[in-house]
Amino acid sequence: MANQNSLPLFESAKWTPAEAKTYPERLFQWVSESELPPVDLFVTTADPELEPPIITVNTVLSLLALDYPANKLACYVSDDGCSPLTFYALVEASKFAKLWVPFCKKYNVQVRAPFRRFSDKDTVNSEHSSPEFKQEWSKMKDEYEQLSRKIDDATRKSVPSELEEEFAIFSNTKRTDHPTIIKVVWENKENDSDGLPHLIYISREKRPKHPHHYKSGAMNALTRVSGLMTNAPFILNVDCDMFVNNPKIVLHGLCILLDCKGRKEVAFIQCPQKFYDGLKDYPFGNQMVVFFTNVSGGMAGIQGPLYGGTNCFHRRKVIYGLSPDGMKHGKLSDKELVQKFGSSMEFVESASQALEEKIYYPNSNAFKYLEAVSQVAGCGYESGTTWGGLDIWLNGRGCAHRANIPYKRLEIRTCYTRSNSLYGLCTSRFANFNDPTKEMGRRDASNLNLQTFPNSWHPLRKAQIQAMPCVYVDLARGLRPVPEICYAFLPAYCIITNSNFLPKDIGLWIAATLLPHMHSDRVPYNWAVNQNMVEQPKND
């Protein structure tokens, strides 16, 4: 990704950059706290060695401590590695969260991932000077160090013997061969807005003869499971190595999703991936600075950026195939619902409610439906349905790695914001040349998806002329080696044949390639929930 800035095909996407600016303080001028919609939080992890459980724990803790009513949040952790260590880490983290979350909210702590909070020695003196805060800060630090030691001991040894009965379900399981495992780590039974959100561990069923489709398959399972358990109308998905840098991120997202214009136009909100503690000149280019700062921002000024796989707010009804403005081809019959969403009547009912923009609660205690939840997380649930095909997370019809969303009928607008609300880990996972090469290979294979091109929703079939070159480069990056190799051999061919493949007036070609960026820094719309009720600020 380091050489993207030199690609002429990206230049047209940089001419009219735009970003969304939000004003969360205005949100409560229109809706009360009790009227805020529920939000489901998705965290995906796949390998406890490449993605240590302590990193996943910090991601989860930063989400549990969001400035949002706890009874409106549910955090789902998908473990594709089927690791008892990951589950154990979440159990211990839920105990620590009972202390950590109240501490963060009491003192309005900005960074709520403990490993970042306690890494800065000056933090205790820079924010609060009261003896009470310093005492509680020291206590939290000791508790976190104890949590880290427990997870580290379990990593080096094994899960403590007193918990073996609870972990019996993990016995005789393999990473690619195991039944569905769903554990409710913490349930907010009292529906307390100041308590802890639901925390659910999920390891979807895997069998050797069934393709699991990597992250896109995990997102499919999370969508179905959450649809049965909480069915929130909005979803925020992050990778396990991200952490929340701004506890009000959900409020920022809702400023766009609940806005009178956003309700009709915005399908999802894409935040850029930003990385902490990275090298200034990262040798492997995996931080993708050019793509997330220039290209995505430029695409936002045309039709909106493509989905990057993480740091994204979604509308559940759009994932199910409904446009943001509510337009669809009539109401689906019961037979069509079963064909689309599978044989689980509970899930069909919840999907029907989501399409009608209603919040569906199967029961006051949704976690009684764990049997039905296990069914929809099965590896064969999608067989004979259109799930994973036309309207849901692109899965069985060609996507091998990233969770590409085919609701890029690009007349549906997507939003881009350069907020510093989420940060991720880069250098530890990609500290050599092989790891980023494999990662980019998987991305290229999933983005290529030649099987999906004939479908009407394919991005290249809906992209505007200005956006098409950028969309092509992003989706067809896997084909680039063919023309690049041919181009590399052209000079040798010209020398041997004493010919020239460049035009005589080479100056025009160079000028077109080096066309300066026409950065206008324009913000097409300031998202403030309701223009009729809230005055918009003037652009600078």
Tokens of 480: 């680039």
pLDDT in tens, 474-530: 666 667 778 778 888 888 888 898 887 776 666 565 555 544 444 444 444 555 544
Average pLDDT, the chain: 75
Name the pairing type of β-strands 198-203 and 312-315.
Answer: unpaired
Helix (H/G/I), strand (E/B), else coil: 524: coil
Nearest Cα neighbor of 116 from 232, 9, 243 is 243
Phi, psi for 19 (deg, rounded to 5): -150, 155
**pLDDT over 80 (residue 226):** yes
Determine the Cα–Cα distance for residues 208 and 212; give it in Å rounded to an integer.
9
Which pLDDT value is given to residue 383?
A: 80
Q: Say if residues 535 and 265 touch (Cβ distance below 8 Å).
A: no
Which pLDDT value is given to residue 101?
A: 96
Determine the Cα–Cα distance for residues 270 and 253; give it in Å rounded to an integer.
10
Determine the Cα–Cα distance for residues 388 and 395; give it in Å rounded to an integer.
5
Which pLDDT value is given to residue 88?
A: 94
Dihedral sign, Cα of residue 366, residue 372, residue 378, residue 383? negative
Q: Say if residues 172 and 84 touch (Cβ distance below 8 Å).
A: no
Nearest Cα neighbor of 185 from 81, 72, 57, 62 is 57
DSSP letter at 206 equals B
What DSSP assignment string belongs to 259-316? STTHHHHEEEEEPPP-BSS--TT-TT-TT-HHIIIIIHHHHHTTT-PPP-SSSEEEEH
Averaged pLDDT, 21-41: 88
Distances in Å between the Cα of 352 and the Cα atoms of 258, 333, 370 are 21, 10, 20
Nearest Cα neighbor of 77 from 31, 40, 126, 23 is 40
Nearest Cα neighbor of 276 from 284, 292, 287 is 287
**pLDDT over 70 (residue 91):** yes
Tokens of 500: 């020239």
**pLDDT over 50 (residue 407):** no
Percent of the chain with pLDDT over 70: 64
Averaged pLDDT, 246-250: 90
Count the Cβ atoms, other than its own, within 10 Å of residue 455.
Answer: 15
Averaged pLDDT, 345-350: 89
Averaged pLDDT, 86-102: 96
Q: Say if residues 26 and 256 touch (Cβ distance below 8 Å).
A: no
Q: Which residues of 456-515 form beta strands (DSSP E)?
A: none
Tokens of 268: 């999802």
Element housing 93 (H / E): helix 84-106
Tokens of 104: 């963060």
**pLDDT over 50 (residue 459):** yes
Q: Which amino acid makes up residue 242?
A: M
Determine the Cα–Cα distance for residues 241 and 309; give it in Å rounded to an integer.
13
End-to-end CA distance of the chain: 33
Q: Say if residues 263 and 82 touch (Cβ distance below 8 Å).
A: no
**Pairwise pLDDT comparison (249 vs 214), residue with the higher score:** 249
Mention every residue, 6+ apart, whose C-beta is less than 8 A from residue 273.
Answer: 287, 288, 292, 308, 310, 311, 422, 424
The neighbouring-strand residues paired with 78 are 44, 202
Work out the angle between the directed axes of helices 84-106 and 53-64 (0-180°, nearest 10): 40
User: pLDDT confidence of 535, banded at 50, 70, 90?
Assistant: very low
Determine the Cα–Cα distance for residues 235 and 426; give it in Å rounded to an integer.
24
Dihedral sign, Cα of residue 254, residue 519, residue 291, residue 404? positive
Element housing 414 (H / E): strand 413-416
Helix (H/G/I), strand (E/B), else coil: 527: strand
What size, in residues, is the chain?
A: 540
**pLDDT over 70 (residue 15):** yes
C-alpha Rg value of the chain to the nearest Å = 24
**pLDDT over 90 (residue 241):** no
Nearest Cα neighbor of 184 from 160, 202, 164 is 202
What DSSP assignment string belongs to 331-391? PPPHHHHHHHH-S-HHHHHHHHHHHTT----S-SSGGGGHHHHHHHTSTTTTTTS-TTTSS
Determine the Cα–Cα distance for residues 336 and 416; give it in Å rounded to an integer.
34
